[in-house]
Amino acid sequence: LTEELQSVLLSVQAMDDRPELQLPHLYNALSLLHVTLGEGSWVGLYCSTGSELLLGPFQGTPACERIAFGKGVVGACFSRGETIAVPDVHQFPGYICCDEAAASEICVPIKSGNKTLAILDIDLPYKYDYTEEISLFEKIANRLASFIE
Ligand code: SME
């Protein structure tokens, strides 16, 4: 998926910095990722309220609305403040299943400085080793931060 994600990265980097377009850019970036990752993928944000993580904008089937810090892949990603790639969701202790179709997942923190604002959460309907894509997802997440700060 590296070529496809490279192209998503170029598109999100090309989005302008007009303050009134931050949310439209964010929504389009999520749509672009979803279309790029294909049918059956889930792409969205879990946003920190300061005491838990709440479902934010997303593309895909309905999902869990609240996740406690430290719980599931999303909550673990928030608590650790670093990317977690899960090639097979059934191997992740405490995995929270929102959709039976999800088979692999990657969560990437979206940070402003060293504060995590939200988690970019991606599910794919097949097992997948994200190793080659981690840095691309992190660059995309870094760009998304500029739309939610
Ligand atoms: N699987 C996640 C929950 C969120 S859904 O994937 C959209 C988790 O274990 O935290």
119 lines ligand 1 (CB under 6 A): no
54 close to ligand 1 (CB < 6 Angstrom): no
* Contacts made by residues 88-96, CB under 8 angstroms, sequence distance 24+: 88/127, 89/123, 96/64, 96/67, 96/71, 96/72
Whether the full predicted model's pTM is greater than 0.85, yes or no, is: yes
pLDDT digits (tens, 9 = 90+) for 73-94: 999 999 999 999 999 999 999 9
Q: What is the mean pLDDT of residues 96-116?
A: 96
Residue 120 pLDDT > 90:
yes
For residues 27-47, one letter each, b for 16 or more C-beta atoms within 10 angstroms of the residue's C-beta and e for the rest, the string is: eebbebbbeebeeebbbbbbb
When pLDDT is cut at 50, 70 and 90, the band that residue 146 belongs to is very high
Token pair for 38 = 């294909």
- Over range 104-121, report the average pLDDT: 97
The pair of three-digit structure tokens given for residue 134, joined into one six-digit string: 């981690």
d(CA 41, CA 124): 5
Report residue 104 as tokens: 């692999």
Choose the residue to mutate in 105, 108, 120, 128 for probing ligand 1, maximizing ligand atoms within 8 Å of C-beta: 105
Q: Is the pLDDT of residue 149 over 90?
A: no
User: Does ligand 1 lie within 6 Å of residue 102's CB atom?
Assistant: yes
Average pLDDT, the chain: 97
Say yes or no: CB of residue 95 within 6 Å of ligand 1. yes
| 3-22 tens-digit pLDDT | 999 999 999 999 999 999 99
Q: What is the pLDDT of residues 22-35, one digit of tens each?
A: 999 999 999 999 99
Among the listed residues 124, 125, 123, 118, the one whose alpha carbon sits nearest the alpha carbon of residue 141: 118
